[in-house]
Structure 1
Amino acid sequence: MNMKPLLSAATFALFTFSHFSQAQALNLPLQLDYGLINKLVSNSLYKGSGNTAELWQDGQKCSSLKLANLKIDGKDQQIRLANDVYVQFGTKLGGQCIPLLNWQGVLETLQQPVLSADHTVLSLPVTQAIAYDQQGHQVNINKLQELLKSVVEPKLAGLSIDLNRVHKDMERNVSTWLPKQEAAEVSQMLDTLTFTSATANDQGIAVQLGLDAPVKHAAEAPSAALTADEQKQWQVIWKNWEGLLNKSIQSIGQDEQSQALQATLSHMLQTSGTAFQAGLTGQESNGNDPVREFFSQSWEKLAPQLKQLSKQMPGLDGFNYLGIIAATDVLYELENNVAPLGITFTSDGLRKLARLLIAGKQQQLQARQ
């Protein structure tokens, strides 16, 4: 499933329904649950046959170490990883490997979420590693302990989520559509994206995501409804978006969770076209803003389904997930904080966005001539 169109749409809403002037620091909560973290670790390390992590093999291919059956939960405000460990030590004689030791047990590591000095990278250094035999007794085989210390711990400690990569992906999506001036302002805002805190709990890692958000400013005159010519230009842009989103929706799998998400996304796409058209032409139903109603109802339904399905998606890494969930969760949080931030998920905001995108499209066409 290609999530980039969803991330693009969410990023547009997050940054372009705003008036870029002054900014204030904002902390938004994200929860990375252990089911997700299990998926991230598996995608990073468990690339061997039978979903194993083949972490070490000697030059003669007679000795090896691999992990299997990863389990992740919380313990003492740290992340606990439990892996089955398979170790073989051997030597080659007469062209054949002679096994000297075959050992199977469990490796338990405790890992503490730590932020980099610039608060853009979340890493998981190992604070404790203990090996147990199959009966649950702690073991102290020197050669095994050395191997775990020199090979396994660095691999597990090397797991991280880098906001700089999220930043680049989001910036590319936005700059494709916006006029240069607005795209540059979005880039400056994305430069402020940081982790402000990260704490392990019983459910996962509670993360605070910080950015400099727009400050509410003096009310501006509402934008007029789009002219007939502007509506034609908008329809070209919208048809492009609609095609990308439809393609993404159709590529979702056939399991029960995937079909539920597919139904939600299809419904969102259908209702968004109607809501957006009403907002762009200045139509209201029962005195309610159609665009605001669409956002408030749709994102609350989508985010939990997207989080649940993302644990099952093959090939989805932590960088993609964080971008997607940040986009959906941040949208929801900003909706709840709309008054102090001046974010307008409204028909007026959509009209401003439409005109920005139309201007960006015209700039692109002029640059090609």
Structure 2
Amino acid sequence: MRINRHYPPSNTALRRFPSFDQCSHWLAIALGFALMLMSAGASADPNATLGAENGADSKQVAIPIRLDYPLLRQLLVAQMFVEAGESREVLNDPTGCSTIVLSKPALASADSQLELLADLQASIGIGGGGSCAGLLDWQGRMGISGIPEIRGNGKALGFKPDRVWLLDHTDQPIENATLLSLAEAGVRNIFSELIIDLTPQLNSVGDFLPAVLPQHSRHQVEALVRTLQVSRLQATEDTLDAEITFTVEPIAEPLLPEQALSEEEYALWEERWQLMDSLLVLTVKHYAAATSLQSIRDALLDSLIESRYRLRDALVETPTAGADPVRDWFLQSWETLVPSIRLIGLEQPGQEQLLLLSVIAATDALSALDQLGPSIGLDISADGLRRLARMIIGDDGNELLNYSEDVDPQLRRLFEDSLGSTPPPSAWRLSISLFPEAMADTTGRLNSWAPKKQDLAEYLPLVAQLLKRSAKNVASERGLEDKYHTLFRNMVLTTAWQESCWRHYVVSDDRKRVPLRSGTGDVGLMQVNERVWRGFYDQHRLRWDIDYNSAAGAEVLVDYLIKYAIRKGEHQQPGGITNLARASYSAYNGGPSKLSRYRSKKASAYGNKVDALFWDKYQQVAAGNELAVSGCLGGDLTGSATAMTPAARKTEAAKASAQFTVQLAAFTTEASALAFIRQQALDDDARVRRVVKDGTERFLVLVGNYTTREQAVSASQRFHTHNAWIRKLDGL
């Protein structure tokens, strides 16, 4: 962006200000994004009639540019009010006897014009013979309004001065013709000689177009560039609005019907969405590093995580030749970054805010571009994404734009800082060597265990121990208040139950032990989504280290608990403190925006079902019945895993592996069966099993669990007076 400005003719030399050449590529970014994404749409007039070189069917596209007044003020100060105290001398008296200085400018709008108000300090005198005779010392305010106008054949912005006025220290208008006449010429120059020339940027976009318009000829691309211009300036209450317009020809070839992608096309599509995700990560890290405000850094991180959840859902759809399921995701993701980038622009001193201005404009343009049909034939190509990365970061952008499964230190730091805590470096690189030998042995066993039904009595207490340890460690590292520790422990146990039935490994069809994985990329004990949390966690360890997966899931949960559920007061809603668990899981399952899904009347049927299932499990865990998790693995354990003694585990393991039992009697009521057990003094051995056959209910008295028929027959000898019957358990 090139700024042309001149001081009043009385200045003896043209003062030079910092060059804006380094900012010149940023408008190209804005236009690059706009043009790259134009297949999603823009405000267009299909009936527009344009020049012959563009063809009768060409469309005019308008991209909105919004300049916030605080940002304009920063630009004004950086360019025009560069003296001490944000001041500018508007009267240059060769004798040195008179000075008029404006300072502390403010911008606003009134009647569709831009108004500049500034403090004014005047000292008027008459000089001669080396001396000055003072006539007037006055302090107050001066205002000037300007009409926005397009200049330079549609390639630049400017302002036409209109009315100038004076205000006293109480902001009441005053009349002082002498003072006004002395100051007015210099003040008008502030508006009239400020030119924002966009020609270099409008021309430079031509180098980018071939990468995003593969179906247009070079002649068509060059014709498009020639039509780029600024139009429709308007000063609104909060912003100075403009439009960058251009015309574009639809592609000559008719659109093909949607069809399944070939294997090669699918590979290119997958590369493209991975680059889109990488570009968002690159942008978030870049702007997070540009601000010192933690609130903005948090907002950038939230936008990235939320976009990742939407990407997870978008990738479930199968792409076709005519529809890209991640297009809307990419556009929406950029829109969510707009508020944070605006704030960063206002925060930056000097020229830096100009570097963000074009990106703000680009993201503001996305909603308009989303309306243009696919007939333009633009392509969000991998090459185009790499070019944009270089525009944002510089020449290193292409190298940084990669889709890696490694932990990204910058993302980790953003994640850790979001809670205001600084965990030790080992906190997210959990190693079994950090734990006592017995605990390391337990983790090692679980890391090679795809449990069967007969394993549950031994397996589940070990998993419970692991989950409780993860909850305790993460709660301590993240500074969770003690009063929430029990609730958080129950959350971790319940989430693992809901997500995986406490499994990390399963046996595949080819009899190999593999990590439990969902169709959307969730993996392991806590079903941590690899796409959502790419860069935050080691992907390999999420798959092959149950301890690491447990800690990662607990860390995500505590983030949602502290930063979202507690800070946003979910426990103050009807239902009280347990709402924190329900809200945190809604976010864990659906993303930060789904925090209140569990209590929303507008939630989807799927969301309602998932949250209801979680709540049912949570209540069982909170009541000390976490071993009810065995039910989803074919078991029937109950109670607390901690309270289960080694002897009880052995008994339950025997029951789980048993195939036969001994039936002593059958009754029509449960009371009769229990009375029989008491009469025969079988309280320690017998149990009652209810069965229904042909609509008839019976209550069986059973004794023992045996892996073979021979064992059952041998055991039944002690009950020879009861007509004992050997029964197969799977037949009951």
CA distance in 1, matches of 2:278, 2:240: 37
Q: Match for 1:263 among 301, 304, 316?
A: 301
Whether 2:86 is the aligned partner of 1:86: answer: no
- Partner residue in 1 for 2:345: 310
CA distance in 2, matches of 1:88, 1:262: 49
- Partner residue in 2 for 1:285: 316
CA distance in 2, matches of 1:7, 1:225: 37
Structure 1 gap segments, 5+ residues each: 360-369
Whether 2:231 is the aligned partner of 1:193: answer: no
1:96-144 residue CA offsets vs partner (Å, 9 max, x unmatched): 87755432111111211122372322211111001223252413242x2
Q: Is the Cα contact below 8 Å between 2:231 and 2:243 reproduced in 1?
A: yes
Whether 2:164 is the aligned partner of 1:164: answer: no
When residues 53 and 355 of structure 1 are mapped into structure 2, their CA distance, relative to the original with a 3 A threshold, is: closer
- Partner residue in 2 for 1:252: 290
CA distance in 2, matches of 1:202, 1:231: 43
Whether 2:241 is the aligned partner of 1:210: answer: no
- Partner residue in 2 for 1:126: 161
CA distance in 2, matches of 1:292, 1:332: 13
Whether 2:35 is the aligned partner of 1:15: answer: yes
Query: Deviation at 1:244?
Result: 6.4
- Partner residue in 1 for 2:101: 66
CA distance in 2, matches of 1:29, 1:357: 22
Q: Is the Cα contact below 8 Å between 2:78 and 2:350 reproduced in 1?
A: yes
CA-atom RMSD in angstroms = 4.7
- Partner residue in 2 for 1:354: 382
Please state whether the residue corresponding to 1:35 is helix, strand or coil.
helix
CA distance in 2, matches of 1:43, 1:30: 21
CA distance in 1, matches of 2:217, 2:353: 28
CA distance in 2, matches of 1:182, 1:134: 63
Query: Deviation at 1:295?
Result: 1.6
CA distance in 1, matches of 2:224, 2:66: 23
34-43 vs 183-192, which moves further: 183-192
Query: Deviation at 1:248?
Result: 2.5
238-247 vs 56-65, which moves further: 238-247
Whether 2:247 is the aligned partner of 1:219: answer: no
CA distance in 1, matches of 2:23, 2:300: 12
Q: Is the Cα contact below 8 Å between 1:44 and 1:317 reproduced in 2?
A: no
Query: Deviation at 1:23?
Result: 3.5
CA distance in 2, matches of 1:193, 1:68: 37
Q: Is the Cα contact below 8 Å between 2:26 and 2:357 reproduced in 1?
A: no
When residues 342 and 55 of structure 1 are mapped into structure 2, their CA distance, relative to the original with a 3 A threshold, is: same
1:253-306 residue CA offsets vs partner (Å, 9 max, x unmatched): 1124532454257558x949x96xx9xxxx941447442142232122122332
Please state whether the residue corresponding to 1:295 is helix, strand or coil.
helix
Please state whether the residue corresponding to 1:311 is helix, strand or coil.
helix
When residues 216 and 188 of structure 1 are mapped into structure 2, their CA distance, relative to the original with a 3 A threshold, is: closer
Please state whether the residue corresponding to 1:191 is helix, strand or coil.
helix
Whether 2:60 is the aligned partner of 1:25: answer: yes
1:296-336 residue CA offsets vs partner (Å, 9 max, x unmatched): 3212212233234323322348965653333222222111x
Q: Is the Cα contact below 8 Å between 1:90 and 1:99 reproduced in 2?
A: yes
- Aligned AA for 2:233? A
Query: Deviation at 1:193?
Result: 1.9
CA distance in 1, matches of 2:335, 2:280: 21
- Aligned AA for 2:88? A
Task: Report the TM-score, using the length of structure 1 for normalisation.
Answer: 0.70
When residues 192 and 321 of structure 1 are mapped into structure 2, their CA distance, relative to the original with a 3 A threshold, is: farther
Q: Is the Cα contact below 8 Å between 2:97 and 2:127 reproduced in 1?
A: yes
CA distance in 2, matches of 1:203, 1:157: 22
Please state whether the residue corresponding to 1:109 is helix, strand or coil.
strand
Whether 2:176 is the aligned partner of 1:140: answer: yes
When residues 232 and 343 of structure 1 are mapped into structure 2, their CA distance, relative to the original with a 3 A threshold, is: closer
- Aligned AA for 1:304? P
When residues 105 and 169 of structure 1 are mapped into structure 2, their CA distance, relative to the original with a 3 A threshold, is: farther
CA distance in 2, matches of 1:98, 1:25: 63
- Partner residue in 1 for 2:373: 339
CA distance in 1, matches of 2:247, 2:72: 27
- Aligned AA for 2:316? S
Q: Is the Cα contact below 8 Å between 1:31 and 1:204 reproduced in 2?
A: yes
254-263 vs 88-97, which moves further: 88-97
CA distance in 2, matches of 1:358, 1:104: 55
Please state whether the residue corresponding to 2:107 is helix, strand or coil.
strand
Query: Deviation at 1:85?
Result: 0.8
CA distance in 2, matches of 1:231, 1:162: 39
- Partner residue in 1 for 2:146: 111
- Aligned AA for 2:61? L
- Tell which has more relative contact order, 1 or 2 (C-alpha 8 A, sep 6+): 1
Q: Match for 1:49 among 65, 84, 87?
A: 84
Q: Is the Cα contact below 8 Å between 1:120 and 1:162 reproduced in 2?
A: yes
When you count strand as a share of all residues, which structure comes out higher? 1
178-187 vs 202-211, which moves further: 178-187
Whether 2:137 is the aligned partner of 1:102: answer: yes
Query: Deviation at 1:153?
Result: 0.9
1:198-226 residue CA offsets vs partner (Å, 9 max, x unmatched): 22233333323321145366214777555
Please state whether the residue corresponding to 1:196 is helix, strand or coil.
strand
Same amino acid, percent of matched pairs:
20
Query: Deviation at 1:84?
Result: 0.8
CA distance in 2, matches of 1:232, 1:290: 11
CA distance in 2, matches of 1:3, 1:225: 42
- Figure out how many residues of one structure are paired with residues of the other and give that number: 342
Task: Report the TM-score, using the length of structure 2 for normalisation.
Answer: 0.39
246-255 vs 224-233, which moves further: 224-233
1:232-268 residue CA offsets vs partner (Å, 9 max, x unmatched): 9989999996896476335311124532454257558
Whether 2:331 is the aligned partner of 1:296: answer: yes
When residues 163 and 6 of structure 1 are mapped into structure 2, their CA distance, relative to the original with a 3 A threshold, is: closer
Please state whether the residue corresponding to 1:314 is helix, strand or coil.
coil
CA distance in 2, matches of 1:208, 1:183: 25
59-68 vs 296-305, which moves further: 59-68
Please state whether the residue corresponding to 2:358 is helix, strand or coil.
helix
- Aligned AA for 1:219? L
- Aligned AA for 1:189? L
CA distance in 2, matches of 1:7, 1:264: 26
Q: Is the Cα contact below 8 Å between 1:310 and 1:316 reproduced in 2?
A: no
Q: Is the Cα contact below 8 Å between 1:116 and 1:123 reproduced in 2?
A: yes
Q: Is the Cα contact below 8 Å between 1:334 and 1:343 reproduced in 2?
A: no
- Partner residue in 2 for 1:367: none
When residues 247 and 284 of structure 1 are mapped into structure 2, their CA distance, relative to the original with a 3 A threshold, is: closer
Query: Deviation at 1:12?
Result: 4.1
CA distance in 1, matches of 2:60, 2:195: 24
